[in-house]
């Protein structure tokens, strides 16, 4: 008798998204299409849809209300007949939601709570036990909502501060092509390898650990901001610190700027490594001047960005760079709980002929142990073996540690969240739930911002910032649009230009928009075909213009909720 949102949507032949909007109109709050709804609500929706199609007219909010009160009154009659109904509620529920579930006016519930000596308002949350007691007064039996597997994968549990211990920083190296990202990573790995290990084969697992002054630093082996933002777009926050590599003989280039903005949008601190300092043409001061334009101001000029001169080739400045990483890590107070079930992110995954699916997991919380049940996306299993970044077999891996995991049923996708559960059986059932979800066409299409939805989101208080990415044919236009748009900020909404660049709209821009819930504005430029495809998939709003005034006009109208939809 209990239905998932997507099941009912299927029955009704409408999209889950539409159903969720209808439910919202009915004051029934559901988390996503996996959420369950009770029979009465389902019936109500079915009636409404039938009525709607019968009349062939758009439903007005008023008739929802009429319907609702009809149902409510029949329910009250039922109650009088002493028929106890069963409702399913989560561990915590608001007075309002409980009222909706029971079909009873919140006022009555609040009165009842006052009888218990509790003064609460309609939005107050009450715990399961109180809700149960209360519901029983209204002749309802209560069962507890079981957590969806998906919830488990999405939800970040919060830790008691006293359980938190320091963890090593995770670092990504970013910068323009050929500025020396790969060389720098190599140099870092080499300087930190002990003599004993030097002869051995260093295995590539997607991340490496180095030790400086007895402290660990973890490096992600894939350089570049694209990988970094792609992970973030999938919901995985992995990097704590970004090292921005700029070649001293070349200067700030388009991808340097992109990297800066991608790191900033993620709120990740940046350390600048001025590379190729061994070259005669090296001019570190010029780099500092150029980067100052993007808000990266060196300490000696009164800013707070750390700059280090390095040469990946001559291996100079590497130790100093690593010390600075530790310094920034210390200031960031990176901590994690070591004593709980593990949760991590898939960094890399492949199929090995002999050993089956192999995934590199960066553990972010808890400790992953051999024998744990694990699930990542639709892949599940039991940890058969763990290997560290040096290829050594280990029994357990704690926070910030990259490990190779053997024992998954299929190859997961980079960016997937991996969680450890009590048994392989539980892992399997969560993975199956994920599989069902993926059959849903609505899967992976979270509600992204668009100019048309801006006003609605503003009113609901869902957004406070309007994040924009501006691409244009010339730098001058970007500046002009930026200045004009930033003036549009109002009390309710802050217009933020998170990235501006010259050239066509690329996949990288779409990724950033997806990760930062931003809208892309193209001025005299268009998206390339890959960007177009990705924007469709990620539901990113791309608007192109030829006249600056039109950009301003649209943004201002959108902020007032008066923008005509684009067809």
Binding residues are 175-182, 221-225, 275-278
**Interface characters, 548-567, with ligand GDP (x: CB under 6 A):** --------------------
Q: How far is CA 239 from CA 207, 267, 331, 418, in A?
A: 12, 10, 15, 17
Task: State yes or no: residue 275 binds ligand GDP (CB under 6 A).
Answer: yes
* Annotated binding-site ranges for GTP: 175-182, 221-225, 275-278
How many CB atoms within 10 Å of residue 456?
A: 12
Three-state secondary structure call for residue 135: helix
Task: State yes or no: residue 223 binds ligand GDP (CB under 6 A).
Answer: yes
CA atoms within 13 A on the CB side of 71: 22
Q: Which is nearer to ligand GDP, 313 or 457 (CB)?
A: 313
Task: State yes or no: residue 312 binds ligand GDP (CB under 6 A).
Answer: yes
Is residue 305 within 8 Å of residue 297, measured between CB atoms? Answer: yes
**Of these, 15, 63, 79, 182, which contacts ligand GDP (CB under 6 A)?**
182
Q: In the structure, how many helices (H) and strands (E) does the chain have?
A: 20, 27
Alpha-carbon torsion, ordered 550, 553, 554, 557, to 10 deg: -160
The alpha helices in 346-441, defined as continuous H runs, are 424-439
What does the alpha-carbon distance between residue 139 and residue 155 come to, in Å, rounded to a whole number? Answer: 33
Task: State yes or no: residue 124 binds ligand GDP (CB under 6 A).
Answer: no
According to CB under 6 A, which residues from 358 to 417 bind ligand GDP?
none
**Of these, 106, 149, 180, 377, which contacts ligand GDP (CB under 6 A)?**
180
Q: Could you tell me how many residues of this chain bind ligand GDP (CB under 6 A)? A: 16
**Of these, 10, 132, 189, 279, which contacts ligand GDP (CB under 6 A)?**
279
Is residue 511 within 8 Å of residue 534, measured between CB atoms? Answer: yes
Q: Which is nearer to ligand GDP, 173 or 449 (CB)?
A: 173
What does the alpha-carbon distance between residue 188 and residue 539 come to, in Å, rounded to a whole number? Answer: 39
Candidates 172-180, 352-360, 368-376, 410-418; binding stretch for ligand GDP (CB under 6 A): 172-180
Task: State yes or no: residue 311 binds ligand GDP (CB under 6 A).
Answer: yes
Is residue 419 within 8 Å of residue 343, measured between CB atoms? Answer: yes
**Of these, 85, 167, 181, 499, which contacts ligand GDP (CB under 6 A)?**
181
**Interface characters, 482-501, with ligand GDP (x: CB under 6 A):** --------------------
Q: Which is nearer to ligand GDP, 271 or 363 (CB)?
A: 271
According to CB under 6 A, which residues from 69 to 98 bind ligand GDP?
none
> Residue 345: which of 364, 368, 358 has the closest Cα?
364
Candidates 8-16, 251-259, 297-305, 308-316; binding stretch for ligand GDP (CB under 6 A): 308-316
What does the alpha-carbon distance between residue 67 and residue 26 come to, in Å, rounded to a whole number? Answer: 10
**Of these, 25, 139, 278, 323, which contacts ligand GDP (CB under 6 A)?**
278
Task: State yes or no: residue 432 binds ligand GDP (CB under 6 A).
Answer: no
Task: State yes or no: residue 183 binds ligand GDP (CB under 6 A).
Answer: yes
**Quick one: tokens of 160?**
């008691």
What does the alpha-carbon distance between residue 79 and residue 81 come to, in Å, rounded to a whole number? Answer: 5
DSSP 301-349: GT--BEEEE-BTTTTBSHHHHHHHHHHHHHHHT-EEE-SSB-EEEEEEE
Is residue 471 within 8 Å of residue 522, measured between CB atoms? Answer: yes
Q: How far is the CB of 183 from ligand GDP (least distance, A)?
A: 3
Q: How far is the CB of 307 from ligand GDP (least distance, A)?
A: 15
**Of these, 232, 276, 341, 382, which contacts ligand GDP (CB under 6 A)?**
276
Is residue 23 within 8 Å of residue 15, measured between CB atoms? Answer: no
Task: State yes or no: residue 225 binds ligand GDP (CB under 6 A).
Answer: no
Q: How far is the CB of 181 from ligand GDP (least distance, A)?
A: 3
Candidates 28-36, 176-184, 284-292, 516-524; binding stretch for ligand GDP (CB under 6 A): 176-184
Residues lying near ligand GDP in the complex (CB under 6 A): 175, 177-183, 223, 275-276, 278-279, 311-313
């Amino acid at each position: 008798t209990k239905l998932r949102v997507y099941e009912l949507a299927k029955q009704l032949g409408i999209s889950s998204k539409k159903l969720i909007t209808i439910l919202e109109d009915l004051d029934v709050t559901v988390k996503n299409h996996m959420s369950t709804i009770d029979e009465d609500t389902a019936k109500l929706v079915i009636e409404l849809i039938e009525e709607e199609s019968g009349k062939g007219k758009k439903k007005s909010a008023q008739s929802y209300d009429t319907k609702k009160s009809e149902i409510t009154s029949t329910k009250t009659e039922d109650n009088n007949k002493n028929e106890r109904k069963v409702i399913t509620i989560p561990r915590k529920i608001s007075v309002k939601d409980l009222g909706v579930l029971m079909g009873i006016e919140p006022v009555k519930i609040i009165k009842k709570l006052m009888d218990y000596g509790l003064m609460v308002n309609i939005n107050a949350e009450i715990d399961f036990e109180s809700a149960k007691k209360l519901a029983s007064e209204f002749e309802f039996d209560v069962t507890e909502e079981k957590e969806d597997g998906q919830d488990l994968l999405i939800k970040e549990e919060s830790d008691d501060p006293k359980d938190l211990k320091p963890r090593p920083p995770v670092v990504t190296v970013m910068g323009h092509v050929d500025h020396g990202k790969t060389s720098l990573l190599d140099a870092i790995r080499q300087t930190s390898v002990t003599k004993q290990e030097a002869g051995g084969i260093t295995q590539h697992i997607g991340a490496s650990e180095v030790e400086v002054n007895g402290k660990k630093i973890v490096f992600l082996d894939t350089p570049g901001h694209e990988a970094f933002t792609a992970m973030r777009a999938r919901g995985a926050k992995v990097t704590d610190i970004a090292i921005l590599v700029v070649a001293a003989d070349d200067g700030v280039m388009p991808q340097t700027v992109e990297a800066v903005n991608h790191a900033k949008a993620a709120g990740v601190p940046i350390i600048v490594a001025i590379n190729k300092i061994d070259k005669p043409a090296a001019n570190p001061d010029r780099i500092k001047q150029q980067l100052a334009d993007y808000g990266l101001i060196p300490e000696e000029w009164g800013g707070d960005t750390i700059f280090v001169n390095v040469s990946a080739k001559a291996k100079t400045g590497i130790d100093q760079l690593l010390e600075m990483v530790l310094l920034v890590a210390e200031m960031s107070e990176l901590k994690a709980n070591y004593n709980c079930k593990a949760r991590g992110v898939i960094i890399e995954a492949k199929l090995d002929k002999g050993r089956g699916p192999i995934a590199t997991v960066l553990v972010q919380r808890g400790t992953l142990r051999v024998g744990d049940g694990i699930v990542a996306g639709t892949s599940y299993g039991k940890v058969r073996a763990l290997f560290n970044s040096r290829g050594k077999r280990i029994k357990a891996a704690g926070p910030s540690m990259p490990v190779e995991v053997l024992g998954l049923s299929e190859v997961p996708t980079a960016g997937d969240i991996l969680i450890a559960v009590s048994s392989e059986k539980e892992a399997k059932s969560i993975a199956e739930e994920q599989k069902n979800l993926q059959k849903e066409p609505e899967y992976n299409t979270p509600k992204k911002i668009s100019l048309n939805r801006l006003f609605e989101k503003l009113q609901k208080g869902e957004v406070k910032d309007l994040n924009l990415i501006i691409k244009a044919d010339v730098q001058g236009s970007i500046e002009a649009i930026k200045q004009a748009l930033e003036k549009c900020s109002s009390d309710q909404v802050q217009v933020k230009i998170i990235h501006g660049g010259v050239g066509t709209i690329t996949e990288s821009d779409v990724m950033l928009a997806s990760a930062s819930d931003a809208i892309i504005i193209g001025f005299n430029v268009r998206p390339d075909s890959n960007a177009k495809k990705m924007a469709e998939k990620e539901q990113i709003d791309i608007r192109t213009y030829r006249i600056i005034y039109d950009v301003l006009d649209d943004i201002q109208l959108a902020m007032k909720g008066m923008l005509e939809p684009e067809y």
